[in-house]
Structure formats: C-alpha cells, structure tokens
Chains A and B, each alone.
Chain A
C-alpha cells in the first residue's frame, strides 16, 4: 500500500459575488447554486511510496499550492480522495500558526499540540529544535523580537522535528538566510534517507533537480506531466523558454560582448588595504580535522581591497584565508572548495595544487594565503567558500581543519546566464552565398 494516494482530486474555488451567497448555498445543501466555478486543481491523481521526494513545479496560479494544501489536509477537495497512511507535517507558509506575541517556546508547544503531541513529547524535542533553529536565548522571547531569519529557522525546525512520515513544504526554501537554506536542503536530504516522504513546491528548479526523485508539472490545475525529475524539468524549461521567447530575444539583442579583464592581478596597494591576518569566520556549518591548525578568518575582497559579499561575474577578487598553527605542521597546504547553494562542488584549489609550497609551521605560527582569481561566470546566486588547511601532499594528507561554508558570496550576473555558468565565447559568422563560386575567396 502506498503511503499517500490521491485519486482524481479536484478543487473548485467557487467565486461568490458576496460572502452571503456562500452561506446561502451551504444551507441549500447544493440544491441551488450561487457561484461561478474556478477549477484550481482538476482531476489530479498520483501515488507516493515512502522515502520518495516529489517536487511540484508550475507557473504561478497553476494549482501547486492548492494541491499541497489539500494533501496537507488544510483544504477539502471538491471531489476525489486523498488517503494518507502516516503523520503529515506541513510547512505551508513559514511561521503560520505562530503567534508573534508569544515566546518561541510557547509557540513550539502550541504547534506541536496541533499535530497531536503531548507536552512531554514536545519537551523531549525542544533541545534538538533549538539546536537546529540556532536561536539561542531568543527561544524565551516573544516572536515579535525575532528577525525574519530566526522566524523561518524556528518554523522549519519545528516542522522537521514532528516525526513526520510526510513532510509537505511550500516554497519555504526560498526564504530565510542563505546558510540556513543550504542546511535545510541538507536536512531534507537526510530526512529522505531516513525514509521520510517529502513533497515540495518550488520555483527553484535547481532545488527541485537536486532533491526530487520525481516531479509533477502542474499546468492550469492539471498534472501536465508526472515522471522522473530530469525529464519533467527539461520539458518544463523548454516550454517556458518558447513561451517567453520575446524576452529571451530581447536579452540577446541588448547584450554586450564578453570582456575578459586583462588585469587579473589585484594590485599590491589593494592587497595592503586588507588586514594581514583575518580573525573572523562568519559561519561554520560543520568542521572537522585533527586540530593541529585552525582557520581563524576568511574573507573575499574586491580588486580595490574592499571586503565584499557580492561580486559581478568576471570581477577580480581576492580570497584571503588566515590560519593559525597550534602544533607543528610539516607541509601545510591551504585551500578552499567553492560550492553552490545545493552543496554541489563547483571548483576548488589549494596552494600545493597551484604549485606553491608553504613553509613548515610550528605551534603559534600564523599565515594568510591569498587566492586571486577572476570570478567565474556563474549563474546568479549564492556560493559558499569552504576553507581548509591540511598537512601533507596532494595525494596523501591529514586534514587539520575543514570549515563547511564559511563564507557566502553572491554572484551577480552581468548578463543572463543560461545553465550553471557562462563561458566566455567569441563568435564568428559567415554568410555563404549559394550562387557564389565554390571558392569564396576567388571573387571580390
């Protein structure tokens, strides 16, 4: 038996000119109607096995969110049936059901009790909820004092801690701060491996691609396509591109030629403006290593030497990594990995790989390494630097410290970027005249 099966569900929003018409109709028990129908979801059937991750994509107003609300049990379908064998935890809108006047803790209890948890069951989960939400002592302060990010983190944390068999998430991943987004995605992946079924709606096709095994494409209330994610997403994209072709053509017409900056180097004066030793790591998702050396700071700087959090494709940037050695490290190697927001490795490098040998270090030594590069023409979005320091050669080494996602850099597109990245290309076109002689160079 499948975990969730929905057969022929439809949702008709009845559009009433007045609310009283709605009541009249309910009291007439369907013998008279006072509305004009609008089918938000129209005859959608699907089944999900446990441990499957289903993505739902589609344009605005295609019925995605309505479908999710019906599955979550918040809305009643007009016809059709949803059968669910398990507990559903829904995150239909972050922080819904949260009261801003109450503390985080009080809201956790209230939310858990809506899902049928007893207070003692909730109490057991509180430490773990707090840990994931990372809101610290704010848990005992009213929600109105929270930042949006804290709000989002708490809501997501509560939802995933309710032992769901099915986790329903509506667009939730697109809000919240970038580090947390990435952590949510990782957590969803982890829940998936634990056998939790996940249903999520997203406009973020990259997230759908990386998370969903299967995807349903909703179009005007109908399931236009239901199948393996890659197939559905490509088909969807192809349709969207052909639909919005005017837009695409406009962008092509106004684009300028790609320019490759010739001054790859960040000047010495600029480098001098950067603190010699950075002592701030903005974020640490996870760290590991033998602790013989510690990364004390990482920062990204513009070619003027200013600290930056975003850069335009092709800009020259300097990534400075500052390390303190706590024990003797014979052959230190400092480097980084650049990842996208789904945690996929984009590229990485290190001093040894670039042909530089750092001096052996003893306890108390400190150094800073600069990686000066031209920012690749990556698709707009957030990218994360994970710095590391190791001891050994490229082939055989011991990790001293690795920090996951220590620095986030937002890449700004200088032009529309198709796919993951844009490659600087030069184009040459030649008109071939059919009537010309076989040798085009012969005449003229």
Chain B
C-alpha cells in the first residue's frame, strides 16, 4: 500500500511539474519583486556572509583552528556548516506560511495543495545551490577542492527530503494553529545552537554527545563539513540513523498533510 501510494503521489507531482515550475519561479521572483538587482541578490547574500565571517573570525578575532578540522580558517569552517543549516531552517520556517499565505489559491482554485510546500523547498534548494557554488569557488581559491565533495550528492537530497517532511508538517499545522510559525522560530534557535555549526561535534563533552547523536542536522552539518574540507568519510551507523530520521520525517509529514488537507479550504 505504501508503494502504490508513493507512486500515485509521484505521478501527481509529475503531472503538475509545470505548475511546480511556475510556482518555483514565482517564489524566486517574489523575494526580489520590485528590486532592480533581482536575482543578483541571491549571489550577494552568501558572498557578504563569507566576507563578514572572514573579517570577524579570521581578521579581528584571529581564530585559528587545529589541523584536524581540515582548515585553519574559522570562516571556512563555519560556512561549511551554516550552508546546510540555513537551507534547513529557511525551508522549515518559510513552509509555515506555504498554505496560509496562499489562502486564495487553496479556497478559490483547484490547486494540488502539496505542491505549494514543495515549491518553497525547491526554490530554497536553488538558493542553497548558489551558495554552495560560491563557497566552492572560494574553497578552490583558498583551500583546494577534493573528490570528497561528491559525498554532497548523498547529503543534499537527504537534507532536502528531511526539510520537506518537516515542511509539510508545519505548513499544515499552521492552518490550525497560527502560533506554529512562532514556535518553529523559537525551536530553530535551540536547534541551531545544539547543532555543531559553530563548533565541531568532537568539541562537545562526552556527557552531551547524545544530543548530537539523535540530531539529524548534526549528521548533515558534519557530513557537509567532512565532504567539503576532505575530512573523514561518512560513518555508516550515523548515516543509517540519519536516513531513518529522514524517512520518518518525510512519511509523517506527507501522511499528516494528506490527512488534514481536506480541511484547508474550510479553515482558510
């Protein structure tokens, strides 16, 4: 049953790929609507971030990392982790409004509602890829790129699917409780600082390691860093736990969304 359901779901998505495409374009344009620079801003943001990190951490604070971190530049180290984190956080936070912000589409047109969160996730993915490309350029200039970055091909889809699962969950929850987006915003602050973005997983004292072990984003962030800075290869055990989390998040999100979708038009 699970398989046929997944297949019909994928078919539905594929039937609406043109809609999905237009929604993604709309979302990408919407960020910069009315601005002269338009899409250029998507490139400016990560560059500015990278320059600022370098200034603060490498020039002002003169943080130097130990060689086991793969780079002595804290800015590079930080950026490796912040890239996947921002993709995750932005996707989940923006998905809160995926349904509620499109009330007119839900109540007045026959739109397949599950496409709206997907469009946000994929549009974020586009931005993520831009950030990644800029970082890779910086990396090749100041550090060097290794084949290990191919591991990103594994982490990237996992990150996307994980975020999508949570995205479906929060987008539908927000229809019932408008506080959802507030809760998510607060939750994300906790989640961020309990994820090894500003530090590496090894720096955490033994007694707190469990927090990281069950945090899928810790695995993703560490995985990104390992791949980009050519550290260790993925650990099978951690990878399996991550896959488990991702699958659970995706299925719960999708099933929950499907279950409560008929009520959207009544509530909005």
Contact = CB atoms under 8 A, between A and B. Distances in A.
15 contacts: A13-B266, A20-B177, A26-B263, A69-B107, A73-B110, A74-B106, A74-B108, A74-B265, A76-B262, A90-B109, A90-B110, A110-B23, A113-B18, A113-B22, A114-B111
Given A19-B267, A26-B259, A75-B265, A110 B107 contact: no
Interface stretch (B29-37, B89-97, B128-136, B236-244): B29-37
A118 interface: yes
Contacts of A115: 110
A114 B263 contact: no
A102 B266 contact: no
Interface of B: 15-16, 18-19, 21-23, 26, 29-30, 33-34, 104-111, 173, 175-178, 259-260, 262-263, 265-267
A92 interface: yes
B26 A102 contact: yes
Given A23-B176, A96-B104, A114 B267 contact: no
A102 to B, nearest CB: 7
Interface of B is mostly: helix
B173 to A, nearest CB: 8
Given A111-B109, A113-B16, 20 more contacts: A19-B175, A19-B176, A19-B177, A19-B267, A22-B267, A26-B260, A69-B265, A74-B110, A88-B110, A90-B110, A92-B107, A106-B29, A110-B22, A110-B26, A113-B18, A113-B21, A115-B110, A116-B16, A118-B18, A119-B21
A98 B102 CA distance: 10
A18 to B, nearest CB: 9
Contacts of B107: 69, 74, 92, 96
Given A75-B266, A101-B34, A110-B26, A23 B260 contact: yes
B121 to A, nearest CB: 18
B108 A97 contact: yes
A397 interface: no
Contacts of A92: 107-109
Contacts of A75: 265-266
B19 A99 contact: no
Can you list the 3 inter-chain pairs with the closest CB atoms, starting with the nearest?
A96-B108, A113-B19, A23-B176
Greatest chain B CB density within 10 A among A76, A92, A106, A114 is at A114
Contacts of B178: 19
A137 to B, nearest CB: 19
Given A26-B259, A75-B266, A93-B108, A102 B19 contact: no
Given A20-B176, A73-B110, A101-B30, A116 B104 contact: no
Interface size class of A (residues with CB under 8 A): 35 or more
Nearest to B110: A73
Nearest to A11: B266
A145 to B, nearest CB: 12
Given A20-B176, A110-B23, A76 B108 contact: no
A14 B266 CA distance: 9
Nearest to B266: A13
Nearest to B178: A19
A117 interface: yes
Nearest to B265: A75
A311 interface: no
A24 B152 CA distance: 40
A72 interface: yes
A88 B108 CA distance: 13
